[in-house]
Amino acid sequence: MLIEILFLLVLCIISVSDIKYRRIPNYLIIIMAIFGIISLFAEGFPQERIIGCIFPAIVLWAFKKRHHIGFGDIKLTIVIGLYYGYLQSSVILICALLLAACYGQFLKRIKHWEIKTVPLAPFVCVFCLLVSILRKIFF
């Protein structure tokens, strides 16, 4: 429980950094990775969490150039996959990407802002918080 709270707290700090500076600091990714590894060993090293590191990151890497996804977002996805596993991290990533795309279109079409990118970390953070709450309620 404490590890999860710390994990989510660091993720919120990453979200603020992504909004303000459009950068995700490596030291925060490393801190999250440490929390993910601690929880991994605490749960008996489930394989689906190892797959969770790789699968979503490969999907984001494939879209990196065309859709202006930053390398920090890919590293964040790896850490999210390590903590949540491939199923939950895939749901988090899909929902975050869809919401970020809708937000970007809203800014372009309704607000008439000229934007090229939207920070992804805040959307990932929202869905990580939601998944964590739902895990506590249902599991």
Tens place of pLDDT for every residue, the chain, 139 residues? 899 999 999 999 999 999 999 999 999 999 999 999 998 888 777 888 888 888 888 888 887 767 678 899 999 999 999 999 989 999 999 999 999 999 999 998 888 888 888 999 999 999 999 999 999 999 7
Per-residue 3-state assignment (H helix, E strand, C coil) for the chain: CHHHHHHHHHHHHHHHHHHHHCCCCHHHHHHHHHHHHHHHHHCCCCHHHHHHHHHHHHHHHHHCCCCCCCHHHHHHHHHHHHHHHHHHHHHHHHHHHHHHHHHHHHHHHCCCCCCCCCCCHHHHHHHHHHHHHHHHHHC
pTM of the model: 0.91
- Residue 86: domain span: 2-138
What is residue 47's predicted lDDT score, i.e. its pLDDT? 82
What is residue 100's predicted lDDT score, i.e. its pLDDT? 94
How many independent structural domains does the chain possess? 1
What is residue 129's predicted lDDT score, i.e. its pLDDT? 97
